[in-house]
A and B are shown apart, each in its own frame.
Chain A
C-alpha cells in the first residue's frame, strides 16, 4: 500500500509541480500585488480603486449586465428547454444540435455578426424604420443594449443545455400529476419544476454569470470604450498604463464575484428545497 502511495505521489508530482510553477505561483504573485503598497501589506489600493467614480460605474455595470443576462437567459432557457424535452427523441436530438451549433462558432465571428445586424443599415434598424416605429435608425452599437444582446446570445446555449439535462432527469409524471391535482402553470413551475431542476439552474446560472463577467471580446467589440466593463478596463490598465496593480485588483474582484455568484445560487436553491 505504502509503495503504491509513494508511486502515485511520484506520478502526480510532475503535474503538481507544473501546475504550481506555471499557474498557482504566478497567479498568487499577481493577486498579491493588489495588497501591497510601498512594500507593506495594505488594503489601500482597493480603497483607491473603489474611490474612483469611473471604476464604480464599471463595477456596477458589469454586475448589472451579468445579473440581467443570467436572469433573462434563465427565463428563455426554461421555456426552450421544456419545449425541447417534450419533443420525440429524433426531433429533440436535432433541436439540441441547433442549440449547440453557435458554440462551435468563434465568439469573434458571432460578435461581428451583431455589428452588422445592429448597425444603422442593419436588419434590426430596417425593421424598426420599415414599421414606422422610428423615423431615423436607432443607435444600438456601442451601447449597453448591444453588449447585453451579444452576451445573451453568447451564453444562452449554456443555460439551455444545463436545464435540458436537469429537466430530463425530472420524473416524467411530476408535471401531469401536479396539473391533475389542480395546480396552475405558475404553481407547477414554482413548486415542481424549479425545485426538481435547481441543480441545472445553479450550474447554468454560474456558467452564464461567470461567462458574462469574464467575456472580453463581446464588450470590447459591441461596447468599446464607451461601455467599459471590468474585463475591458483590466485590458486598458495593463496595455495602456502598464498598471498591473489595478489589473490584479480587477482580477481579484472578478474571482470574488464568480465565487459569490455560485454560492448565492446554491444557497437560493437549497433554501427553496427546505421549505
Chain B
C-alpha cells in the first residue's frame, strides 16, 4: 500500500515537472491591463511572423519585479515592460542589460524622451501618459495644482495615494505650485496633510475615481490620461485641466533581462512593438499612447491619449532615480503627516 502511494506521488511529481524550454519560445512579462487588445494587436500577429511561441506573464510591478529578481541567475523571462523607476530598480539589481539599439530598426522614430530615459540604453520608452486634474467644469475652475484645495472642493476631491504611480508626480506638481519642487516632496506632503480632512479619499485605483466622479462624490481628482476614456462617456461636464505649472505623468519602458535565453527573438519583438504599424493600432484602440513620433491618429483618438510632440515636450516627469531614491522617505513622511 505504502509503496503504491509513493509510486503515485512520484508519478505526480514527474507529471508536474516543468517541460524543457523550447528553442523558439519568447517569454515576456507585462502589466495585466488590456491583455485582450494586446493579444489581438501584438501577440498573435507576432507569433505568426516569428513562427515562435510567445509566453506572456502578467502581474503588478512588485510581483513581477520580485520574480525577476528570484530568477536572476537563470532568467526564464526574456523581456519585460515596467515603469521607468521599476526598470531602474531592476537595472540597479543587475537583472537587466543594455539594449543594443542598432538592432532596432524603429528606434530612430521614437520621441527623444523615450530613447534613453534610464541611461546606457537600459530601457526604451514605448508609451507614456500625462497626469493632470479631471474636474467638473460646471462646478469649479482649475487653473493651478493648488486649486485642488479651494473652498468649493472641500470634501469633494480625491487625491492619489503616495503609493500609486500618480501620487508622487501629483505631489511634485503641487510642490511646483507652492514654489517648492524639492525632490523630498516634504512641502507638498505637509500641505496635503494639513488639508487631509478636506480630501474625501486617497485613491489607489484609477477606476475608483471614475466611480466617485459618476456618483458626484467628488468634483476633481488628479488622474493619469490612460484612465481618461471613461470620463467623456459620463455625460457630465468633465474637463481635463491644463494647469499653469504644466502637466506631469509617467513613462513605461521595455527592458531586456541579463542572460536572456532568446535575445534575438526579444529584439525582434521589441522592434515589432515599436513599429509605426503596431503603435498606431495600440493608439487607435486607446490602449497606449504612442512613443513612436511617426504615428498619426485622428483628432478624436488623439483627444483621449497623450499625443503629439508639443504635449510630450511639456510633460514634467519625475526622473526615475529621484523616485527610486526617495520612495521610502516619501512613504514615511506621508504616513507621518497624512496617514494618521
Q: Do A and B bind each other?
A: yes
B201–A226 touching, CB < 8 Å: yes
* B46-87 with Cβ < 8 A to chain A: 60, 62-63, 65-66
A54–B201 touching, CB < 8 Å: no
* A223-258 with Cβ < 8 A to chain B: 224-226, 228, 236, 238-242
Assess whether B14 is interfacial by the CB under 8 Å rule.
no
Smallest CB separation, A7 vs chain B (Å)? 5
A139–B155 touching, CB < 8 Å: yes
Can you list, as one digit per residue, whether each of A1-44 has a CB less than 8 Å from chain B (1) or not (0)?
A: 00000110011011001000000000000000000000000000
Assess whether A209 is interfacial by the CB under 8 Å rule.
no
Known: A224-B204, A225-B201. A116 touches B215 (CB 8 A): yes
Contact of A242 among B62, B201, B202, B339 (CB under 8 A): B62
A-B contact pairs, 12 of them (CB 8 A): A10-B5, A53-B336, A53-B340, A57-B340, A120-B215, A142-B200, A142-B201, A225-B201, A226-B202, A236-B163, A239-B62, A242-B66
B215–A121 touching, CB < 8 Å: yes
Known: A6-B2, A10-B5, A224-B203. A119 touches B215 (CB 8 A): yes
Using a CB–CB cutoff of 8 Å, the interface residues on chain B facing chain A are 1-2, 5, 8-9, 60, 62-63, 65-66, 155, 161, 163, 196, 200-204, 211, 215-217, 328, 331, 335-336, 339-340
- The 10 A-B residue pairs whose C-beta atoms are closest, nearest first, are A240-B163, A10-B2, A142-B201, A224-B201, A225-B202, A54-B335, A10-B1, A225-B161, A119-B215, A54-B339
Assess whether A115 is interfacial by the CB under 8 Å rule.
yes
B217–A120 touching, CB < 8 Å: yes
- Name the residue of chain B whose CB is nearest to the CB of A139: B155
Cα separation A241 to B331 with both chains bound (whole Å): 9
- Name the residue of chain B whose CB is nearest to the CB of A122: B215
Assess whether A207 is interfacial by the CB under 8 Å rule.
no
A120–B2 touching, CB < 8 Å: no
Smallest CB separation, B66 vs chain A (Å)? 6
Smallest CB separation, B190 vs chain A (Å)? 16
Cα separation A241 to B62 with both chains bound (whole Å): 8
Assess whether A74 is interfacial by the CB under 8 Å rule.
no
Known: A115-B211, A115-B215, A239-B62. A141 touches B200 (CB 8 A): yes
- For the complex, count residues of A whose C-beta is within 8 A of B: 29
Instruction: List residues of chain B with CB within 8 A of the CB of A239.
Output: 60, 62-63
Known: A7-B1, A10-B1, A53-B340. A240 touches B331 (CB 8 A): yes
Contact of B202 among A11, A224, A238 (CB under 8 A): A224
Instruction: List residues of chain A with CB within 8 A of the CB of B203.
Output: 224
Cα separation A52 to B336 with both chains bound (whole Å): 9
Instruction: List residues of chain A with CB within 8 A of the CB of B216.
Output: 119-121
Smallest CB separation, A57 vs chain B (Å)? 6
Contact of B5 among A14, A116, A142, A240 (CB under 8 A): A14
Cα separation A121 to B213 with both chains bound (whole Å): 12
Smallest CB separation, B170 vs chain A (Å)? 14
Contact of A14 among B9, B155, B202, B215 (CB under 8 A): B9
Instruction: List residues of chain A with CB within 8 A of the CB of B202.
Output: 224-226
User: For A7, A57, A120, which residue has the most chain B Cβ atoms within 10 angstroms?
Assistant: A120
Instruction: List residues of chain B with CB within 8 A of the CB of A14.
Output: 5, 8-9
Cα separation A241 to B155 with both chains bound (whole Å): 29
Smallest CB separation, B11 vs chain A (Å)? 12
Cα separation A52 to B331 with both chains bound (whole Å): 13
B2–A54 touching, CB < 8 Å: no
